[in-house]
Amino acid sequence: GFELTLRLQREDGETSPPTWPAELMQGLARYVFTSGNVLCPGDHVSWHVPLDNGDSRIQHMLMVEDAQLTPVASSCGITHFVQILGVCQEELKA
């Protein structure tokens, strides 16, 4: 199996975490559940709207292996950690 991770830099003056990352991850989880597809390192997901629901140019996601979290083995199998990396159109084409 896999678990999604996402890291954000705290903005100046930010006192509480933003809610959009949880909403984004819920949308991805809904896609995985309804389609039966899995998200693997190397995958690309076009969201077609800013990931933060604002005016950001970041509308695409690359799935990468989370370099800080190693896979975890349990009685249910191995869980891999897949990090969401937000990119804009120009970065996606590069």
**Rounded-to-5 percentages of helix, strand, coil across the chain:** 20, 30, 45
Q: Give the helix ranges, DSSP H, for the chain.
A: 20-35, 89-93
**C-alpha to C-alpha distances, 62 to 15, 33, 79, 88, nearest whole angstrom:** 28, 19, 19, 10
Rg (CA), the chain: 14
- Please write the tens of the pLDDT for every residue from 28-63: 999 999 999 999 999 999 999 999 999 999 999 999
Single pTM value for the model:
0.89
Pairing of the two strands 77-88 and 2-5? parallel
- Please write the tens of the pLDDT for every residue from 59-89: 999 999 999 999 999 999 999 999 999 999 9
